[in-house]
Amino acid sequence: MKKLKNWDNKTWLSSKSYISQFNQFLKFRVNLNKNSKILDIGCGRANIISSLHKKYKFKNKPVGIDIVKNKDIKKNIIFKKIDASEYLKKNQSYDLILIKQTIHFFTKIKLNRLLNLAKKNLNPKGKILIFSLKTKNNKIPCFKKMRKNLEKSLKRDEVLFKVIKKNLKEISYTNFNFKVNISKQKYVRMIKERYISCLLNMNNKEITFGISEIKSKYKNQIKFTDTLKCIIFRK
């Protein structure tokens, strides 16, 4: 699969409002303080852990890892361009390991390996938080081909959720909801830039046709709720 580069590039996922609400969500589920050590797997431009570091002034800079190194990664974190499992073999210890909208890039075998290593690298009372798109009645605005690809991906996520449950055993569930209000023009730009993985393998003709469908299907302002399923594991 082609690499996903624009999911947090000038989208609602990179907005101040989204980051603020997401970090507020974390605050009520994770006991963070200046001594907390954080790892973000699939960090993208590291907007979330950068914002956390500004707030908590961690003694140890948060670590973000990704297989894509963007030019505009936040400077107040430690970034590593590396495979997650390879990095976790270094046996560092963390109080919080974030795995956000990343599991769909893993096979079942590789996901199990990642989870085993993550557990091993978790401090006592540390937590792993795994976020992935809601699989039932997902509200992401789509054109026909995009919806078909997304539904296929979400069905695969359901299989991976079972892998996670079997591996981590003692887990809890909750949802993170963010109300999106975006102009159709901006959303069209996001589609052109293939902001979500279900667009990556589509050709330019399919994207152009899909954009025409979006333009006719939605009003000038597109409103919906972006819901992430959150799986919480505590050591």
DSSP state of 225: E
Report if residue 5 sits inside a domain: no
| φ, ψ (nearest 5 deg) of residue 216 | -85, -25
Confidence of residue 4 (pLDDT cuts 50, 70, 90): confident
Report if residue 216 sits inside a domain: yes
When pLDDT is averaged across residues 125-149 and rounded to a whole number, the result is 96
User: Which domain, by its residues, includes 104?
Assistant: 12-234
Report if residue 7 sits inside a domain: no
| φ, ψ (nearest 5 deg) of residue 150 | -65, -45
DSSP state of 14: G
Report if residue 3 sits inside a domain: no
> Does residue 53 surpass a pLDDT of 70?
yes
Report if residue 6 sits inside a domain: no
> Does residue 7 surpass a pLDDT of 90?
no
> Does residue 47 surpass a pLDDT of 90?
yes
Report if residue 19 sits inside a domain: yes
Cα separation, 49 vs 99, whole angstroms = 12
Tally of domains within the chain: 1
Report if residue 2 sits inside a domain: no
When pLDDT is averaged across residues 124-140 and rounded to a whole number, the result is 95
Cα separation, 91 vs 39, whole angstroms = 12
Cα separation, 35 vs 107, whole angstroms = 34
Report if residue 69 sits inside a domain: yes
Cα separation, 169 vs 42, whole angstroms = 23
H or E element at residue 16: helix 16-27
Task: Return the amino acid letter for 193.
Answer: E
In CATH, what number is assigned to the domain containing residue 140?
A: 3.40.50.150
Across all residues in the chain, what is the average pLDDT? Answer: 95
Cα separation, 228 vs 212, whole angstroms = 28
When pLDDT is averaged across residues 37-45 and rounded to a whole number, the result is 96
Residue that the structure tokens 């909750």 belong to: 174
Residues 6+ apart with CB under 8 A from 156: 104
Confidence of residue 2 (pLDDT cuts 50, 70, 90): low
Confidence of residue 175 (pLDDT cuts 50, 70, 90): very high
Cα separation, 173 vs 132, whole angstroms = 12
| pLDDT tens-digit map of 180-229 | 999 999 999 999 999 999 999 999 999 999 999 999 999 999 999 999 99
